[in-house]
């Protein structure tokens, strides 16, 4: 069974655009991978510089080496751990803390420095000088691109100044060259990181926009399909029953059609649409015979099965029967009181067709009112919706032939 929502449900659900997607999956993945890289990198650099930290401990007060290590390694561990969480909240906070921790550790070096101990510790006695840009990448991960660039300039200048003081007891001109070189080299990696994050961000936004557009389009298609179904329901059942009524007469067929119309309306209001499974040709033949008999039990019937090995989709059967009913009602209503009708067709494995022919008054198909539902929507539109076709041949005074056909693609 196929169950679809009612038109009321579809219209209400599509009244507003789809809810925006809460997370950008592409950006989240990029941030997680980058956080692992940066977190592990800071930890690795810190471990590699541990001998320098221990060897130059006398340069500063005793509290600075362990505090600086905690300020650098602590956020890096949090960044690494946060990269394995499903959300990025921890990553963003740890990234900001990593950059802030580096700046604070460097600033506190000037407070803890003992000027009397300058010299004799090699070229790089301040252990932080080897990786000023790495914590800055954490700001890139947090999407603080402008802050990351500003951080790189400030952190590099500060740590190179500290290193110059530790080596020479003062600042020399070579400090500016080494600072600019470090900023330039590290800036390349930072630029790559910024481009990567922006690309992931844009990709995710594009994907989200495409998904939202698809959802809105699907809602619009669903609304249009339900509206078409409702129009067909009113035309095929309600209006058809009203037009079939005759004053001072009782017709059991009209009463049965009225009961079917009420049942269809109730099903539409509940949101039920029982289409069923595929239909074999003999069952379709029975349905075609029943459909025509409900409208005109005097019609000549010449539909026959050519090959019973084929099955037809339930949606196709539903559309063919509805279009056949429309053709029959049009013939009964417009062909004239003395017109005779014949229903013919073939149900084969590679195709099916059914048709209605009458010898009534006929009409000019080229001069139909485009606002009328019957031929354009009830026949041609309905058949084309399932990949079939409807052919209408008629002329004034020469009767009408309607041929409905469908074949599997």
Share of the chain above pLDDT 70, in %: 78
* Torsional sign, CA 200, 206, 209, 215: negative
Range 143-157 average pLDDT:
93
- What are the respective helix, strand and coil percentages of the chain, to the nearest 5? 65, 10, 25
pLDDT per residue as tens digits for the range 196-255 = 999 988 888 888 788 888 888 877 776 766 676 666 666 555 665 665 566 656 666 666
Model confidence at 330, pLDDT cuts 50, 70, 90, reads confident
Residue 363 φ/ψ, nearest 5 degrees: -165, 175
Q: 82, 94 in Cβ contact below 8 A?
A: yes
Q: 300, 328 in Cβ contact below 8 A?
A: no
Report the range out of 218-232, 276-290, 362-376, 387-401 with the highest average pLDDT: 387-401
pLDDT at 4: 39
Rounded Cα–Cα distance for residues 101 and 139 (Å): 12
Q: What is the pTM of this model?
A: 0.52
Q: Which residues partner with 346 through β-bridges?
A: 304, 353
Which residue has better confidence, 122 or 287?
A: 287
Q: DSSP secondary-structure letter at 236?
A: I
Report the range out of 208-217, 267-276, 279-288 with the highest average pLDDT: 279-288
Which residue has better confidence, 64 or 55?
A: 64
For residue 394, which of 355, 358, 345, 370 has the smallest C-alpha distance?
358
């Amino acid at each position: 069974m196929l169950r679809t929502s009612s038109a009321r449900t579809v219209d209400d659900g599509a009244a507003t655009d789809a809810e925006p997607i809460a997370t950008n999956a592409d950006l989240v993945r990029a941030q997680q991978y980058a956080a692992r890289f940066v977190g592990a990198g800071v930890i690795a650099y810190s471990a590699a510089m541990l001998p320098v930290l221990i060897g130059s401990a006398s340069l500063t007060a005793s509290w600075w080496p362990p505090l600086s290590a905690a300020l650098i390694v602590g956020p890096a561990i949090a960044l690494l751990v946060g990269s394995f969480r499903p959300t990025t909240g921890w990553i963003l906070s740890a990234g900001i803390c990593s950059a802030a921790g580096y700046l604070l550790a460097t600033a506190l070096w000037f407070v803890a420095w003992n000027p009397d101990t300058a010299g004799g510790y090699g070229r790089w006695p301040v252990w932080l000088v080897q990786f000023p840009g790495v914590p800055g990448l954490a700001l890139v991960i947090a999407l603080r691109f402008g802050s990351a660039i500003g951080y790189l300039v400030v952190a590099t200048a500060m740590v190179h100044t500290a290193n110059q003081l530790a080596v020479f007891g003062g600042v020399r001109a070579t400090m500016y060259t080494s600072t600019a070189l470090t900023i330039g080299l590290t800036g390349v990696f930072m630029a790559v990181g910024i481009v990567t994050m922006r690309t992931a961000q844009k990709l995710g936004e594009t994907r989200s926009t495409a998904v939202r557009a698809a959802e809105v389009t699907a809602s619009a298609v669903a609304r249009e399909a339900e509206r078409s179904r409702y129009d067909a329901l009113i035309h095929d059942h309600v209006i058809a029953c009203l037009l079939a009524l005759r004053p001072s007469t009782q017709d059991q067929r009209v009463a049965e059609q009225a009961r079917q119309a009420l049942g269809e309306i109730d099903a539409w209001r509940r949101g039920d649409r029982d289409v069923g499974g595929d239909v074999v040709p003999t069952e379709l033949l029975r349905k075609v015979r029943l459909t025509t008999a409900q409208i005109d039990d005097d019609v000549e019937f010449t539909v026959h099965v050519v090959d019973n090995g084929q099955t037809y989709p339930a949606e196709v059967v539903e559309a063919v029967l509805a279009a056949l009913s429309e053709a029959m009602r049009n013939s009964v209503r417009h062909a004239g009181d003395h017109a005779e009708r014949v229903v013919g067709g073939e149900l084969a494995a590679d195709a099916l067709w059914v048709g209605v022919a009458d010898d009534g008054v006929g009409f000019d198909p080229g001069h139909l009112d485009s606002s009328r539902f019957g031929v354009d929507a009830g026949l041609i539109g309905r058949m084309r919706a399932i990949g079939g076709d409807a052919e209408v041949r008629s002329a004034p005074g020469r009767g009408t032939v309607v041929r409905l056909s469908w074949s599997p693609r």
